[in-house]
Amino acid sequence: GAVVSQHPSWVICKSGTSVKIECRSLDFQATTMFWYRQFPKQSLMLMATSNEGSKATYEQGVEKDKFLINHASLTLSTLTVTSAHPEDSSFYICSARDRGRGYEQYFGPGTRLTVT
């Protein structure tokens, strides 16, 4: 139980285009989802927190117009990287919190984004 999936697992896009990453909780309802960014040999950096049906809360320094987050249902959150640039290339990881299981976060496998 408590499985979180991400799609796609790997994506390459051209500079200037937009890319959407999906995060799904497969066997539980996720009232809260988190989006992280991980650079090579670095820790996970929290980008934003999203609660179902409300606007995401972005961390300081994260451009909310560039990283659009939608949490339209209790099992799906999406991160759209708009007008991607090579510096946006990174590993993006989502996690989801199942209120019924306490306060643990369950992590997806991550999405590798490469912008050329």
Length of the chain: 116
Find the part of the chain contacting another protein (CB under 8 A) among 12-20, 63-71, 76-84, 105-113: 105-113
Q: State the residue for tokens 């996720």.
A: 30
Interface map 10-39 toward another protein (x if CB under 8 A): ---------------------xx-x-----
Is it true that the peptide bond before 8 is cis, omega within 30 degrees of 0?
yes
Asked if 67 interacts with another protein (CB under 8 A), we say no
Q: How far is CA 80 from CA 2, 42, 58, 70, in A?
A: 24, 22, 14, 8
Footprint of another protein (CB under 8 A): 4, 9, 31-32, 34, 41-46, 49, 51, 93, 95, 97, 99, 103-110
